[in-house]
């Protein structure tokens, strides 16, 4: 486990991403090899906690993953949720909205995928795109996106009151690391499919995206839906960090196996 308090953005504090080191491996003694060796123990713990959540079926967990392109959202999901029962977990990616989605309010498509009792939902991108790409690319006027932080806070508070625990993770990579990962996508044939020329337009807007992230995280990190800024240049550390966040969160939720409906003590199977 890594101490996750170092990643947590206390409500009301102004986030300055230049003060969050993407290459950090703070709180872990050892290097890549040790880090990789430590992961299976954590994913096993997550799997055990998820089993209890599923059996209890009285509360749910929503994990929001956000990052710049190549930030590692897919890899995090693949590694961290390795051990869980697929029956209890829903992963949903939010891409460019469809015509139907655009004809509704921006939370409409999101609300349909929030987790039911006993389940974990993982958002690969989320309603935060509506104050990130939408803001940076000026897809709606400022007066429209600037009102959304308040909607989002209220929406997440409502979910939390109704039984959903929320954790939000920003995978923080450096601009240099992004360059290397894009180069890998170009250079390795089995990664070509992940590369879109449009991604480079977003890279050119790096500073505007960082500013949009700083605002979004600052304005929406709350006690009921905290943001964690996770150093993500080292994939192995990122995996340990996100696993630690999930374990601490699930342990706090403390799901319990339900008691059997009847007294089973004298049941004999013949």
- Closer by beta carbon to ligand AMP, 75 or else 93: 93
- Closer by beta carbon to ligand AMP, 27 or else 97: 97
- Closer by beta carbon to ligand AMP, 10 or else 102: 102
In angstroms, give the least distance from the CB of 95 to ligand AMP.
4
In angstroms, give the least distance from the CB of 238 to ligand AMP.
17
Structure tokens at 68: 């710049």
What is the CB-side half-sphere exposure of residue 165 using CA atoms within 13 A?
Answer: 19
Interface residues with ligand AMP (CB under 6 A)?
93-97, 125, 129-130, 133-134, 139
Q: Which residues contact 14 (CB under 8 A, 6 or more apart)?
A: 214, 218
Structure-token match 């060796």, residue found: 37
- Closer by beta carbon to ligand AMP, 94 or else 149: 94
In angstroms, give the least distance from the CB of 113 to ligand AMP.
13
- Closer by beta carbon to ligand AMP, 86 or else 198: 198
In angstroms, give the least distance from the CB of 91 to ligand AMP.
12
- Closer by beta carbon to ligand AMP, 72 or else 118: 72
Rounded Cα gap, residues 193 and 175, in angstroms:
21
Q: What share of the chain is helix, strand, coil (3-state, %, to 5)?
A: 50, 10, 35
Whole-number Cα distances in Å, 149 to 96, 144, 212, 222: 20, 10, 11, 12
Task: Write out the E strands in the chain.
Answer: 60-67, 89-93, 120-124, 164-172, 227-231
In angstroms, give the least distance from the CB of 71 to ligand AMP.
10
Rounded Cα gap, residues 76 and 56, in angstroms:
26
Query: What is residue 184's DSSP assignment?
Result: H
In angstroms, give the least distance from the CB of 175 to ligand AMP.
17
Rounded Cα gap, residues 233 and 70, in angstroms:
10
């Amino acid at each position: 486990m890594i101490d996750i308090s170092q990643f947590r953005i206390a409500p009301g504090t102004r986030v300055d991403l230049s003060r969050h080191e993407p290459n950090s491996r703070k709180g872990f003694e050892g290097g890549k090899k040790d880090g990789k060796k430590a992961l299976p123990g954590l994913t096993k713990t997550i799997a055990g906690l998820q089993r209890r959540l599923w059996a209890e079926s009285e509360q749910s967990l929503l994990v929001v993953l956000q990052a710049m392109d190549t930030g590692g959202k897919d890899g995090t999901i693949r590694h961290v949720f390795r051990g869980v029962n697929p029956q209890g977990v829903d992963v949903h990616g939010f891409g460019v909205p469809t015509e139907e989605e655009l004809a509704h309010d921006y939370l409409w498509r999101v609300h349909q995928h929030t987790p039911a009792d006993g389940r974990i939902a993982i958002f690969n991108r989320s309603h935060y795109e509506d104050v990130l790409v939408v803001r940076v690319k000026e897809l709606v006027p400022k007066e429209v996106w600037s009102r959304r932080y308040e909607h989002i806070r209220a929406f997440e508070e409502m979910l939390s009151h109704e039984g959903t625990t929320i954790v939000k993770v920003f995978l923080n990579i450096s601009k240099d690391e992004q360059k290397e990962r894009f180069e890998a996508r170009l250079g390795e044939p089995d990664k070509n499919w992940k590369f879109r020329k449009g991604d480079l337009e977003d890279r050119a807007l790096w500073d505007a995206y960082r500013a949009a992230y700083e605002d979004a995280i600052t304005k929406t990190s709350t006690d009921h839906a905290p943001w964690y800024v996770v150093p993500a240049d080292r994939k192995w550390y990122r995996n340990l960090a996100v696993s630690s966040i999930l374990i601490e969160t699930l342990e706090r939720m403390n799901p319990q196996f339900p008691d059997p409906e009847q007294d089973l003590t004298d049941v004999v199977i013949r």
